[in-house]
Amino acid sequence: MPVDLRYHITSLIAVFSALLIGVLIGIALVGDPELERRVQFADNALRERQDQIEQLDATRKTYENFSKEAGWLLTANVLAGKRVAVIYAYPRRGEAFAAQLPRVLEHAGATVTSTTTVLPAFRKLERSNAVKVFQLFQWPVPIEGDLRGVLAAKLAVNVAEGKQELPAALKDAPFKLIAVDGDYTQPADCEILVVGLNEGADPASVAEVEARMIHGLQEAGHRVVACEGGPTPISTIEQCQTQLIPTVRAADTPYGQLALVLAIDRANGSFGPEESALWPRLEDYLVASPRPAPAPAPAH
């Protein structure tokens, strides 16, 4: 994740403050002129460090604002005409990224066809209840294996292909396995899988939900990109990377949003501050042909 300079600022000030307090106590007890000289030296050093920290913080803010504005310009209309479906691997309650993502995609020219949220009940789905879904659609029931995985793959592919019957069934009673929003009759050119788990969720369920979704989409020839929108209680991005699909960490940052847009377009790799691929090479994806004028950058 990006370095939080405020944390380092607080740490440095705390360290120097503790040092000064200790030295002052020593002077009060001893009254040594040499100690007074050292205290003055330490006080001057602390002031210099504070000035340096203020300058670094100002520089950080400048680069942060620049990256937001540059990213906003670079992503304008890159995805013009593309349809994107979004699947959240767990409910997002109050997360800023859930509000950011549609704006980023629409600014890039994409149409968000639907937004599907996998509810905790899906991860806890027992075989007997999964069989009821299979019977509803008159699908043959596999004798062995976890039916969650088969159902997860079918759901992802149906969403990508604009087939609304399965999502409609899974959102209603008696199942209530997903939450839905949008138009499920439109096929998508790419599916975004926003991954991660809430506290208390079983990490082993990733193999039967996200991994099976990705595998199903790959087998059906659909493009899928996995991302994490900032810190999550339980990160699962590494499990998605084993599926050899584009992945983006820190998709809530300006550079993460740029990487996400380019990954939806055609960039491949694992992008993020902790990844070996780092961020995509812009010269590989920016085109010289003129594009419509981008919308003004959002207010900071």
Q: What is the CATH number of the domain that holds 126?
A: 3.40.50
- The DSSP bridge pattern shows strands 111-118 and 178-182 to be antiparallel
Looking at residue 25, its amino acid is I
> What pLDDT, on a 0 to 100 scale, did the predictor assign at position 234?
86
Do 98 and 157 lie in a common domain? yes
- Residue 257: give the domain boundaries: 78-284
Could you tell me how many residues make up the chain? 300
> What pLDDT, on a 0 to 100 scale, did the predictor assign at position 295?
53
- 50 within a domain of the structure (yes/no): yes
> What pLDDT, on a 0 to 100 scale, did the predictor assign at position 1?
42
Q: How many domains does the chain have?
A: 2
> What pLDDT, on a 0 to 100 scale, did the predictor assign at position 136?
93
> How far apart, in whole angstroms, are the C-alpha atoms of residue 124 and residue 66?
45
> What pLDDT, on a 0 to 100 scale, did the predictor assign at position 287?
47
Looking at residue 292, its amino acid is P
Radius of gyration of the chain (CA): 25
Burial of 54 (0-12, 13-18, 19+ CB in 10 A): exposed
Domain boundary among 15, 41, 73: 73
156 φ/ψ sector (left φ>0, alpha ψ -120 to 50, else beta): alpha
pTM attached to this predicted model: 0.74
> What pLDDT, on a 0 to 100 scale, did the predictor assign at position 96?
84
- 242 within a domain of the structure (yes/no): yes
Mean pLDDT by 10 residues, the chain (300 residues): 55 63 59 71 80 78 67 82 94 81 93 95 91 93 88 97 96 92 96 89 89 95 92 87 90 88 87 63 48 52
> How far apart, in whole angstroms, are the C-alpha atoms of residue 212 and residue 253?
28
> What pLDDT, on a 0 to 100 scale, did the predictor assign at position 40?
78
172: CB partners within 8 A, 6+ apart: none
Domain boundary among 14, 42, 73: 73
> What pLDDT, on a 0 to 100 scale, did the predictor assign at position 60?
72
DSSP 232: -
Burial of 180 (0-12, 13-18, 19+ CB in 10 A): middle
Domain boundary among 25, 57, 73: 73
Do 167 and 219 lie in a common domain? yes
- 294 within a domain of the structure (yes/no): no
> How far apart, in whole angstroms, are the C-alpha atoms of residue 179 and residue 157?
16
